Amino acid sequence: MNHKRLVAAKAADDLKHGATTAGHDVRRVVLDLEITGLEPDDRITEIGGVEMIGRKRTGRTFHHYLNPERLVGSSEYIHGLSDEFLADKPKFAEVAFDFMDFVRGAELVLHNAEFDATYLNHELALLKLSPLETIVAGIVDTLKMARAIRPGLKNNINALCADYQLDIPRRQYHGTLLDAHMLAKIYLAMTRHQQEFSTLSLLEQIEVRWEEVRTKGYKGVGWANDLVGSQEVLLKAAKTFHQWEPLKVYLSVARAKKKRIAFSLRYQGQHVADLLVDGSPQLHIDKNTADKNKKYFGVGQEGHFDWTGEESKKFRRHFKNLGAEPRGRSEEHRIESIFLQQMADSSSKIFNNTMKNNIQPVLLAGCPFQLPVPISGNTGKPEAKRGNIDIMARRRVGNRTRLSIWELKRPGVKAQAIEQAYRQAYIYGVTVLKMLRAEESGHIWYKDVLGFNGKMPDRMTIECVIAVSLDDIKAAEALGKLRRFVTENSLQIEGDTIEFYLASYAEKQGSLSIDLTKAQ
């Protein structure tokens, strides 16, 4: 974690007048105003507020345009609210009691609190009502916090959004409700380093890890350019060998970037040999792989063999003669291989007619591969290290193609592992959005690696799919838990959206059928 920012966050915390930052049940109202001018008798023209409980926005808001009972003058150039527009709007007196009910007992979050509180108190005093400080539990000034964290820098909302990598809304004028929403995000970003990591929301934990990744030097540009630069060589290499069923060729992304190209040859999803393309193609089986092959598949060949030679042919014939009986040490890898095979099926019978022919796995040089991401979700907790997504696909929904992230669980897995998969999928979904929105490399990932056409849209939807094999009763239970997870976590990621699905699959004679259900 950046030490200077941690120290600055502590300084900002000291400015909060004893507010309980870490409390999960603290009620806060983030407020923004527009005013006719800067004189003591100027009036409020618009007021917008956003409610938070703990560190989550509840969706409850307060917003009114107000007739200020005087001309707006030159302030119209700032907020865009004309005398004509405001003429039929309610006066502050008409909304005062609703406003007091909305903020009563809450910790009020304002940007330049002294300024805003002065005009709120002026309005209350005109009605002979109690001052703001006696209505709310306390007042937090995010401008003072920002100046402590970023001394000498601009600290308006746009500048803070840029510093914390938050989406800056496109707008010609200020709008209080929009600014209140942005200020809520800024407040959460500025205060999240004051808390124990475990008390942060899952989205905030991911954002902390993303900041760590970027501070250490995000390798997104290098990864993307290496993969794109090697595709021509990979395509040429892929054509140099003949693939025999039931062996499948996968691509190791780590080796795809190296001069000596190595493909992974797999049987029922388990690695059984390397295919080396360095001059004459070779089959390479190291001792560790040979021992596993002997244990699970009854073949113990070890060494280097010419791809077209007799030893390689013998190796391939052995697997061809094994039949369709499930084998290997990883049931999950076997299921993954069937998913990939059926996703790539161009026939209308994809997943036994249970899914329309509108999905295709993301391929590199025509081979399945796992997209490397800089935040791992393998444990259900975001960690700043390399992670791998089970399957990434493109799925056609309506007239748009969206990215589809699949987390697979083997048959018979425990409920705890399924619930962990919800978190894994969310971590990877948010991380991929961060990668795609990274200015220096996102467009390379989007177009040249993931294979989308055209310009990246301003707003994207990524779907996270949890694939589990369950009977109907357990499937309903898992869907209910997934829906609860969805309600507890933000699905709006700086203008982009995450959608969750449960894919309940059934296997029969080596083929899968799927029941795909949206969770929200």
* DSSP-assigned beta bridge partners for residue 408: 467
Distance from the first to the final alpha carbon of the chain: 35
- Residue 170 backbone phi and psi in degrees, to 5: -80, 120
Rounded to whole angstroms, the Cα distance separating 466 from 421 reads: 7
Under 8 Å between Cβ of 186 and 166 = yes
Q: Which amino acid makes up residue 352? A: N
Query: In terms of Cα–Cα distance, which of 497, 401, 395 is closest to 453?
Result: 401
Positive or negative, the CA dihedral 36, 43, 110, 117 is: positive
CA Rg, the chain, in Å?
A: 29
Joined tokens for residue 483: 């829906």
Q: What is the DSSP string of 449-514?
A: IS---SSPPSS-EEEEEEEE---HHHHHHHHHHHHHHHHHS--EETTEEEEEEEEEEEEETTEEEE
249, 367 contact by CB (below 8 A): yes
- CA–CA distance, 374 with 383 (Å, rounded to integer): 9
> What's the rounded Cα separation, in Å, for the pair 282 and 306?
5
Which SS3 state, helix, strand or coil, does residue 342 take?
Answer: helix
Can you read off the two tokens belonging to residue 243?
């693939």
31: helix, coil or strand? Answer: strand
Cα diameter, the chain: 98
Question: For this structure, is 111 an active site residue?
Answer: no
Catalytic option among 174, 304, 318, 443: 174
Rounded CA-CA distance 433/354 in Å is 29
**Do the beta carbons of residue 339 and residue 467 sit within 8 Å?**
yes
Q: Over 394-419, what HEC string results?
A: EEEECCEEEEEEEEECCCCCCHHHHH
| Cα 148 to Cα 6, 191, 237, distances in angstroms | 11, 12, 57
Tokens of 118: 């002065």
Q: What is the DSSP letter of 318?
A: H
Strands (E), 36-170: 44-53, 56-65, 107-110, 138-141
* Beta bridge partner(s), residue 164: none
Q: Listing from the earlier edge strand, what are the strands of the sheet with 107-110?
A: 56-65, 44-53, 27-35, 107-110, 138-141
**Counting beta carbons within 10 angstroms of the beta carbon of residue 239, is it exposed (0 to 12), middle (13 to 18) or buried (19 or more)?**
exposed
Which residue numbers are catalytic?
Answer: 174
